[in-house]
Amino acid sequence: MEKKFDITLIKAVIGLGNPGNQYYKNRHNIGFRVLDELAAQYGASWKEADKMLYATIIHHDQPLLLIKPMTFMNDSGRVLPWLQKKGIKADQIVVVHDELEKKFGQVVMSFGGSHKGHNGLKSIIGMIGPDFWRIKVGIARPADRDEVSDYVLSNFPPDQEAQIPSIIAACIAHFLPN
């Protein structure tokens, strides 16, 4: 039986990305960009703690933590002990990340699964296992497998960057319907 998503059970949303302005518009940073827009829509401000930025919004009459790991992608899971100390379990977390296996702009929600080579997911799975929610934002795959690292760390081309606001809106609507 497939697990049904219920936003009222979610306590934290982790957006994956790399810290620093030079990475902000990279494909790999779409998770940060989704969370920045969500925080802006709710008028939330970012605070620092334990190698991360976090903000709290009130959604469906309950607090929802927004988390941006400031550890670089490969160590994204280092934010999990902080969440666990707050009593937040894996199935109460949504991770927003880029997805090579989806066409550009496709937004898919799923529960559980493997990391498929995504180092941010690999780090999180290493800390709490695979049973958490994911918002996968399609960035498509480069033709040459050897170019994946450069590809995810490059900016979206202008025609795709122009579509990012609507993709971010789709992410927010997808897991936080009104």
Q: Which among 28, 59, 97, 115 is annotated as catalytic?
A: 28
Radius of gyration of the chain (CA): 15
Residue type present at position 23: Y
* Cα 112 from Cα 135, distance rounded (Å): 11
| Helix, strand or coil, per DSSP, at residue 60 | coil
118 is catalytic: no
Q: Are 34 and 96 in contact (CB under 8 A)?
A: yes
Q: For residue 147, what are the contacts with CB-CB under 8 A and spacing of at least 6?
A: none
- Residue 155's beta-bridge partner residues? 26
Residues labelled as active-site residues: 28
